[in-house]
Amino acid sequence: MEQLPNEFTLNLPEGAFPLSTDSMVLSHFVRLPKNARVLDLGSGCGTLGLLLCAVNESCRVTGVELSQSAHLAAIDNIRRNGLTTRMESICVDVRQVPGSFPPGSFDVCVSNPPYFSGGPASRTAALARREDACSPADLFRAAAWALKYGGDFFLVHRPERLAELIVRGSEVNLEAKRLCLVRHQADSPVNLVLLQLRKGGKPGLKWEEIVLHDLSGAPTEQYRRIYHL
Mention every residue, 6+ apart, whose C-beta is less than 8 A from residue 165.
136, 155, 157, 176, 193, 195
| Closest to 226 measured CA to CA, from 10, 59, 51, 18 | 51
Round the CA-based radius of gyration of the chain to a whole number and report it.
Answer: 17
Q: How far apart are CA 79 and CA 83, in angstroms?
A: 6
Q: How far apart are CA 65 and CA 88, in angstroms?
A: 11
For 179-189, letters b (16+ CB in 10 Å) and e give bbbbbbeeeee
CATH of 2-226, picked from 3.40.50.150, 3.40.190.10, 2.60.120.10, 3.40.50.280, is 3.40.50.150
Predicted TM-score (pTM) of this structure: 0.92
Residue by residue, pLDDT tens for the chain (229 residues) are: 889 998 999 998 877 767 889 999 999 999 999 999 999 999 999 999 999 999 999 999 999 999 999 999 999 999 999 999 999 999 999 999 999 999 999 999 999 987 644 333 333 334 444 456 678 899 999 999 999 999 999 999 999 999 999 999 999 999 999 999 999 999 999 999 999 999 999 999 999 999 999 999 999 999 999 999 8
Q: Are 41 and 92 in contact (CB under 8 A)?
A: no
The domain segmentation of the chain, as residue ranges, is 2-226
